[in-house]
């Protein structure tokens, strides 16, 4: 089963490379996103926050029911490596302290202020790929830079990835995404793209750019799948890994059914 992990830093307190820094604004963005995932999904959710700002008193019922786990810690003190390293530390804290996660868990990591409007469709279609522990992530056109706003990975992959977290340094242009890409290509876990385009809304904490959901259409969905297949082809050419062929066929059949409904 999936577990949604929302990574959060409510009070960046001078963290470099952070455009959206007002803690009150950030708080409202996080709460809006958390409310969305509680309402629109049935999966357990972990809200992991690294500026020691506890929101658990606002969600007593969800916590008591076991639907939500809130973790907060003072992890925003090391600003020498930037936001990416801080993000990695949040994920690591969640893996080490969560009562929800096990080594068999499949984590849907989402930047906590952002809303993935079609999250239910994404997770429904991605589920077959988790049978062999795949890492599901979107990449740019040449497969050099993954989109870390949302990706899906089993816990053992995350632990392997986090073992390289000291390499991250925003000041040296070695970002969270660079280390994630290396682990996807060089690790022991197969890769798959998202077969449904994530529709993301919210504001980038790094640049202040506002994300708008595109207008969904059959032609856009078909074009997105074409691009996803091309990226998967680049991955197999670069790594020689073809272990997902069976799952790809099954997933495409699921797509046919999904969009015919």
Confidence band of 260 (pLDDT split at 50, 70, 90): very low
Kindly state the percentage of the chain with pLDDT values over 70.
Answer: 86
Give the three-class secondary structure for 74.
strand
Sequence ranges of the domains in the chain: 2-260
pLDDT, residue 229, reads 86
The pTM of the full predicted model, rounded to 2 decimals, is 0.90
What angle do the packed helices 245-260 and 119-126 form, to 10 degrees?
140
Q: Is 90 exceeded by the pLDDT of residue 195?
A: no
Confidence band of 132 (pLDDT split at 50, 70, 90): low
151: which strand partners?
Answer: 109, 137
More confident call, 205 vs 43: 43
State the CATH class of domain 2-260: alpha beta
pLDDT, residue 216, reads 87
CA dihedral (158, 164, 166, 169) positive or negative:
negative
4: which strand partners?
Answer: 45, 108
Spacing of C-alpha 139 from chain mean position? 13
pLDDT, residue 75, reads 85
A 10 A CB-CB count for 87 gives 20
Average pLDDT, the chain: 87
Average pLDDT over residues 148-171: 95
Among 98, 97, 184, 91, residue whose Cα is nearest residue 143:
184
Q: Is 60 exceeded by the pLDDT of residue 198?
A: yes
pLDDT, residue 257, reads 45
């Amino acid at each position: 089963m999936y577990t949604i992990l929302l990574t959060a830093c409510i009070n960046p307190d001078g963290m470099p490379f952070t455009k959206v820094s007002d803690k009150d604004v950030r708080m409202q963005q996080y709460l809006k996103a958390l409310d969305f995932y509680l309402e629109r999904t049935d999966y357990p959710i972990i809200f992991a926050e690294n500026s020691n700002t506890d929101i658990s008193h606002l969600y007593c019922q969800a916590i008591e029911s076991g639907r939500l786990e809130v973790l907060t810690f003072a992890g925003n003190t090391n600003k020498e490596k930037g936001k990416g390293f801080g993000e990695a530390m949040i994920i690591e804290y969640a893996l080490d302290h969560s009562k929800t996660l096990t080594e068999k868990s499949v984590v849907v990591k989402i930047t906590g202020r952002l809303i993935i409007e079609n999250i239910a469709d994404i997770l429904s279609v991605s589920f077959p790929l988790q049978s062999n522990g795949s890492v599901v992530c979107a990449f740019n056109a040449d497969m050099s830079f993954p989109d870390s706003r949302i990706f899906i990975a089993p816990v053992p992959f995350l632990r392997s990835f986090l073992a390289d977290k000291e390499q991250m340094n925003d000041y040296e242009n070695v970002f969270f995404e660079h280390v994630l890409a290396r682990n996807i290509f060089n690790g022991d876990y197969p890769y798959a793209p998202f077969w449904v385009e994530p529709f993301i809304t919210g504001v980038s904490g790094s640049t202040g750019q506002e994300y708008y959901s595109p207008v969904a259409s059959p032609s856009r969905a078909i074009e997105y799948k074409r691009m996803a297949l091309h990226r998967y082809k680049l991955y197999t050419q670069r790594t020689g890994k073809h272990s997902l062929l069976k799952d790809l066929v099954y997933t495409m059949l699921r797509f046919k059914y999904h969009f015919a409904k």
